[in-house]
Amino acid sequence: MRAQASSEFIIIFGAILAISLAAMAVGVVWPSFSQSVEKQESDDYWRGARPFSIEEQGIYPQGMLLVIRNNDPVTLNLTLVEAEGNGFWFYSHPLPFSWENKTDCAQTSSCNLQIGPGKAAIISLYDSFSASGKNPCVSNGAFEAGKWYAVDISFIYRGAGLGEEEKQNGSFALYGKCTN
């Protein structure tokens, strides 16, 4: 009888242990999986967006970096980038990319980056983005590498005739991981 009770106890204990381990695994893996899915959906949306698509993006200790492409058949003039509802002047960067090699449109008192049809540009929201409190990767003055972020982005631009400003709002936030 004792042997049978011991065997039953071990089997029940093993089953409870297996169920507990499976529940813990789901609790650890699921959040990471769902964030990866959100990032993929965001990337897919922004790669197909018009008139500006975002081909690459990331948030670094220096600021937010975007590689954008003009998908319209005419030249567009980017004048402002909004992140989390705040407008930011931006820097444009030539290739090969470096944070130091940049043109500051704020020094000219108005941003007007011309991007031809089908052409790409590298822009960054630099110091002002991180100092604004809108950088989701900075908490208490410290950069948090590896943290997931979601940032709403809009582009303010003019067409080739420099007429009225137009605004492109995204249906999806930009998702990603803060990177060093």
Architecture of domain 43-177: Sandwich (2.60)
168: pLDDT strictly greater than 70: yes
Q: Which residue, 61, 24, 41, is CA-closest to 174?
A: 41
pLDDT tier for residue 117 given thresholds of 50, 70 and 90 = very high
Do 45 and 117 touch, CB atoms closer than 8 A? no
Q: pLDDT by residue (tens digit) across 46-66? A: 999 999 999 999 998 888 999
Q: pLDDT by residue (tens digit) across 123-153? A: 988 766 766 677 889 888 888 999 999 999 9
Residue 25 φ/ψ region, left for φ over 0, alpha for ψ in the -120 to 50 degree band, beta for the rest: alpha
Q: What is the spatial distance between Cα 109 and Cα 33, in angstroms, rounded to a whole number?
A: 44
- What is the average per-residue pLDDT within 96-125? 80
Cis bond upstream, residue 51 (ω within 30): yes
Q: Where are the domains of the chain?
A: 43-177
